[in-house]
Structure 1
């Protein structure tokens, strides 16, 4: 892992994708890796069923073991700017843009130990990985049921305050299909207000060029991840949640390349 290298906002080199045989071989190896390690982790999670924090840590250990290996299997070399900010700042709400399946692998890898991940509830149906995710106590959000999603986030806020842990969240709520930054929903703002935690933006540059959405093509090369300075949330208020979401969204826009900037029409901020 390269720990301190300046990230680039320019479009990455666009070499040829991995050949079909190589790509499918890597995906099969990745599935086998997940199947074996998730199965072992599920056993430990079952033994720790009464202790949610311990189960979350089992999930974290799985992610920190498997996440970087899956990224490497995809032919991606990670280059970080200010990686130390993830470990040095204590509990926080980490927010990251979402443009590729690589983001999931990065989230697994980078979430601090004891940190709680978030994902849409459908991920629980994914064999082995989804089963472990559900069992390990990480958050599953029902994007189609606003009241249930709010209840889940409220319960998460109570847990975070009680245990002093971090949360990793993709505030756009769904993966961008063209690499552009989507509108940030306000869920992370409400979490920050409820917990008093700072927000730390984690900007992933051009992951959609390495593994495009809805595609099995993988393009080897460098992937730049930039961990920005913490955003103080101590003065945030519920009445101005939309403004705070736009504030953090603007921080991402300051460092993303032109092709990843949001479209002008994307201006509303949902819960």
Structure 2
């Protein structure tokens, strides 16, 4: 990379990060005001939070986002979404693909991050505390049931950590146990090309990169044994890994998908 090009990337990245955080602060303020006057978060998410998150990716990061829905995907069914973990903008990208209100599963310490953490609290994010494994699963399952009850889905990153090589690594079983216990299906979500926009260990944002988000069908979890949950986790990891590498689902799933631009506020007018 030439010195001139790198200097340009640094300047663009400074603008993208500072502008993105300022934009999120505006979003957090508007979200809080709308909640104070009594509007339900599910609607505030569709009207304000999600569109502003998508704006960070499409405008400040200048990513060319396309969302591809599998024909078997039911946009009305509340689910646990399983997305590959790439960078700090993963949740923003998910806002372009999940067509209804959702909360994110994250480490509890992230609630203390200025602006971002405030938004996560307002959006009913689910914090993972450092407690015993069995207790964690119980707490997460209860939280997921509550989100389902109020009409929200849950976004998860089953790898647990951002990738450092662009590949999709093993999925942890915890989120699948949570989904089963909450009687929620799981949905594989693959972000193809997002590693080229930004990656762990670098603050550089590469503009004008194409990003394809593939949203798969719902896979039921009801009644699965612990062993079957493990098999499902492996299957979902294989699907997402294939889609991230190839930009399409494997032949084991129908190849036909419907393609739409990243969701805008108009496209999110469906009530929740």
User: Counterparts of 1:205 and 1:116 in 2: how far apart (Å)?
Assistant: 22
**Is residue 97–residue 213 contact of structure 2 (8 Å, CA) maintained in 1?**
no
Q: 1:253 to 1:33 in 2, by over 3 A?
A: closer
Q: How far did residue 218 of structure 1 move?
A: 1.4
Q: How far did residue 108 of structure 1 move?
A: 3.5
Q: Is 1:127 paired with 2:114?
A: yes
Aligned residues: 240
User: In the alignment, which of 21, 35, 56 is matched to residue 70 of structure 1?
Assistant: 56
Mapping of residues 60-99 of structure 1, within 5 Å: 61-72=47-58, 73-82=60-69, 88-99=75-86
| Paired residue secondary structure (2:95) | helix
**Is residue 63–residue 109 contact of structure 1 (8 Å, CA) maintained in 2?**
no
User: Counterparts of 1:86 and 1:222 in 2: how far apart (Å)?
Assistant: 23
Q: Name 1:205's counterpart in structure 2.
A: 192
Task: In structure 2, list runs of 5 or more residues that go unmatched.
Answer: 247-272
Q: How far did residue 87 of structure 1 move?
A: 6.0
Q: How far did residue 17 of structure 1 move?
A: 8.8
With 110-119 and 56-65 compared, the bigger mean Cα shift is at 56-65
User: Counterparts of 2:217 and 2:31 in 1: how far apart (Å)?
Assistant: 33
User: Counterparts of 2:178 and 2:149 in 1: how far apart (Å)?
Assistant: 14
**Is residue 59–residue 136 contact of structure 1 (8 Å, CA) maintained in 2?**
yes
User: In the alignment, which of 97, 101, 104 is matched to residue 117 of structure 1?
Assistant: 104
Q: How far did residue 124 of structure 1 move?
A: 0.8
Q: 1:103 to 1:62 in 2, by over 3 A?
A: same
**Is residue 79–residue 186 contact of structure 2 (8 Å, CA) maintained in 1?**
yes
**Is residue 171–residue 237 contact of structure 2 (8 Å, CA) maintained in 1?**
yes
Q: How far did residue 251 of structure 1 move?
A: 1.7
Q: How far did residue 211 of structure 1 move?
A: 0.8
Q: Is 1:192 paired with 2:179?
A: yes
TM-score by length of 1: 0.77
Q: Is 1:252 paired with 2:240?
A: yes
| Paired residue secondary structure (1:140) | strand
User: In the alignment, which of 16, 33, 39 is matched to residue 23 of structure 2?
Assistant: 33
**Is residue 94–residue 200 contact of structure 1 (8 Å, CA) maintained in 2?**
yes
**Is residue 61–residue 113 contact of structure 1 (8 Å, CA) maintained in 2?**
no
Q: 1:46 to 1:146 in 2, by over 3 A?
A: farther
User: Counterparts of 2:117 and 2:226 in 1: how far apart (Å)?
Assistant: 33
Q: Is 1:214 paired with 2:201?
A: yes
User: Counterparts of 1:101 and 1:27 in 2: how far apart (Å)?
Assistant: 11
**Is residue 159–residue 169 contact of structure 2 (8 Å, CA) maintained in 1?**
yes
Q: Is 1:43 paired with 2:33?
A: yes
TM-score by length of 2: 0.76
Q: 1:21 to 1:188 in 2, by over 3 A?
A: same
Q: 1:161 to 1:228 in 2, by over 3 A?
A: closer
Please provide the CA RMSD for this pair: 2.8
User: Counterparts of 2:228 and 2:74 in 1: how far apart (Å)?
Assistant: 30
Q: Name 2:142's counterpart in structure 1.
A: 155
Q: 1:254 to 1:25 in 2, by over 3 A?
A: closer
| Paired residue secondary structure (1:19) | helix
